[in-house]
Amino acid sequence: MITELDLTGTIAVPRGNRVVTQQSLNAILQRHSDWVNGEPQGARAELSFMNLNGLDFSGYNLDGAGFYESEMSDCNFQRCSLIGANFAKARCGGSDFAGAILRGAIFSYAHLAGCNFYEADLRNAQGNRAEIKSVHVVPSWPITYTSHMVFVGCLKLTYQQLADDYLGIEDLSALRAMYGPDVDEPMLRHVLQVIVLDSNSCDAVPCRNENTYPLPEEE
Residue-wise pLDDT for 172-217, tens only, equals 565 555 555 555 666 666 665 555 543 334 433 333 333 333 333 3
User: What backbone phi and psi angles, to 5 degrees, belong to 51?
Assistant: -95, 105
pTM above threshold 0.85: no
- Report CA-CA distances (Å) from 192 to 2, 39, 85, 137, 168: 31, 44, 28, 10, 10
Question: Has residue 18 got a pLDDT over 70?
Answer: yes
Question: Has residue 10 got a pLDDT over 50?
Answer: no
Determine the pLDDT at residue 177: 59
What ranges do the domains of the chain cover?
11-131, 154-206
Provide the pLDDT confidence category of residue 152 given band limits of 50, 70 and 90.
Answer: confident
Torsion of CA 86, 91, 96, 99, to 10 degrees: 20
Distance between CA 98 and CA 70 in Å, rounded? Answer: 20
In three-state secondary structure terms, 143 is strand
Q: Mean pLDDT throughout 90-116?
A: 95
Q: Let me know: does 49 contact 68? Beta carbons within 8 Å.
A: yes
Distance between CA 202 and CA 44 in Å, rounded? Answer: 33
Residue-wise pLDDT for 27-83, tens only, equals 999 999 999 999 999 999 999 999 999 999 999 999 999 999 999 999 999 999 999
Distance between CA 73 and CA 94 in Å, rounded? Answer: 6
Neighbours of 169 (CB within 10 A): 15
Please state, rounded to an integer, the average pLDDT across all residues of the chain: 76
Distance between CA 217 and CA 219 in Å, rounded? Answer: 6
Determine the pLDDT at residue 148: 79
> What is the dotted CATH code of the domain comprising 11-131?
2.160.20.80
Question: Has residue 120 got a pLDDT over 50?
Answer: yes
Does 96 or 157 have the greater pLDDT score? 96
